[in-house]
Amino acid sequence: DGGITQSPKYLFRKEGQNVTLSCEQNLNHDAMYWYRQDPGQGLRLIYYSQIVNDFQKGDIAEGYSVSREKKESFPLTVTSAQKNPTAFYLCACGSGSTDTQYFGPGTRLTVL
């Protein structure tokens, strides 16, 4: 059963703590993306990766870090440097270029 998964669905963290959000896909897609969604705003690109061991900053990369050690996995770390981390985080994958992006179910992060 092919797809893209994210875990956990809900995540709470205390201020000052780093937290890592998981994203796994078995669609054999080369490209993976992380977006942040805030109420009333569109999806904003945090980081993206087109191939293993390579990734690029998106529009709002400050306070975030990623790795792409395997084709199937693209974890996102929200660091304590991110000033306003409470948001809905969406991971997506695609074949790159203008191919359709397929989204995971999302992780809702709340900083207490």
Give the residues lining the site for other proteins (CB under 8 A). Answer: 31, 33, 35, 40-45, 48, 50, 58, 88, 90, 96-98, 100-106, 108
Nearer of residues 13 and 108 to other proteins, judged by Cβ: 108
Rounded alpha-carbon distances, angstroms, from residue 10 to 52, 54, 72, 111 = 27, 28, 22, 11
Min CB(6)–other proteins separation in Å: 9
d(CA 81, CA 104) in angstroms, rounded, equals: 25
List of residues 6+ apart from 65 with CB closer than 8 A: 76, 77, 79
Min CB(96)–other proteins separation in Å: 5
| Among 39, 25, 42, CA closest to 101 | 25
Nearer of residues 60 and 80 to other proteins, judged by Cβ: 60
Nearer of residues 16 and 39 to other proteins, judged by Cβ: 39
Min CB(101)–other proteins separation in Å: 6
